[in-house]
Structure 1
Amino acid sequence: MQNKNFIEYLIIALNLIPFLYLGFIYSELPEEVAMHFNSSGQVDRMGSKKELWILPILLCGVMYFLFKYLPQLDPKNNNSRIWPGLRLGLTVFMSTISIIIIYACSHTDSSTFSKELPRLIFAGVGLLFVLLGLYMRHIKPNYFIGIRTPWTLESNDVWKKTHYYGGYWFLIAGIVMVISSILFSMQTTFIIVMSATIGIAIASFAYSYYLYQKPGKS
């Protein structure tokens, strides 16, 4: 219980960091800041600095409550053992991405950083896939997290096998994304990230269907 409380307090603290960072620099920001970057890292939309608050509110505030309370609504409630660690990893990702984007939006004079922003985002997505890959095989049947197809939800055996191999797919895809974000151009990395994401979705859907239709399934 003590360890669980510590993780909860740590998650809350991590979620507060982007709010504190933005509050600390807010008075020094111009009234208009960058709000959107194209795939080359160039600013293609400006907006009021007040809009910056939307980012931590969504990624840290709203997601905190979703991650905390949605699993409690799950009738199965099978993942109480792994959920705190997974929540912590997801929170680190959300908070880090928030800070990076806030910094990029408020420092458009740093052209090098702005141009590298998509690369950092892609690398972050890759690390998120690695995290999901490490946890995937440990996720038990539920209605909120994991590879939820009609067939994984119908059969525990199909769920287990799909998540076992799905974990490897996410892990490998994440590593490839991180490496490509370092070695290749933004456009090439974008294609790799999208291809890997779509590929995993199709493979998971098809594999779970195959297992469900396979003779002798549980």
Structure 2
Amino acid sequence: MLLPRFTHGELSRFVWGNLGVLAVLWVLQLAKIHWVALSLRTLFIISIIAVLMDYGPLVVKKAANARTVDHIRLDLNVVFSAYGLLYLLTPRAFNPQNPAESLALLGFLFSVGALVLAYVPRNHYVGIRFPQTYASPVVWRKTNLLGARLGFVCGLIFFLTAGLFGADIGTAALLMGVIGLVIGTWTYANWLTQRGK
């Protein structure tokens, strides 16, 4: 739920937009026009990820969870679009000087992993777990939604800094982002509790 409100038409536009961009990249690759610095292997991996993000959630789609599955598909397409935009703006982050020492991939995984927070029910293992979030299902849901959004941004920043400046600066950015995420969600959970949510 990275986007608070959306229509089914907006989901379709995201899906078709992302698939359209992939189609253009394949045409450029097959026509040997290399203004994009993607190897054939990288483009193939990106294509598989895009197809899994678009159609993987549909495997579990039933009438009872249709809205949740649409939210997940939209979130994954937002992630794909955000990283696609980053590629256009900073392609060097996707091709670090020393790939063996780069932690940029972890930034992507952090971004996608943070999305889980928006959908996880109250439990003792996964989620933003403060006394305030355990006390109220509404506080749990809203705080974890904020955590998903902050975690997504934190992963983007980690990806960029690790890809552009190396593992040390990327790790420092991740640490600062996680501290910000903890402080932000804790403050928000307290504020919701005080308002009686």
Scaled by the length of structure 1, the TM-score of the pair is 0.45
More strand by share: 1
Structure with larger Rg: 1
Scaled by the length of structure 2, the TM-score of the pair is 0.48
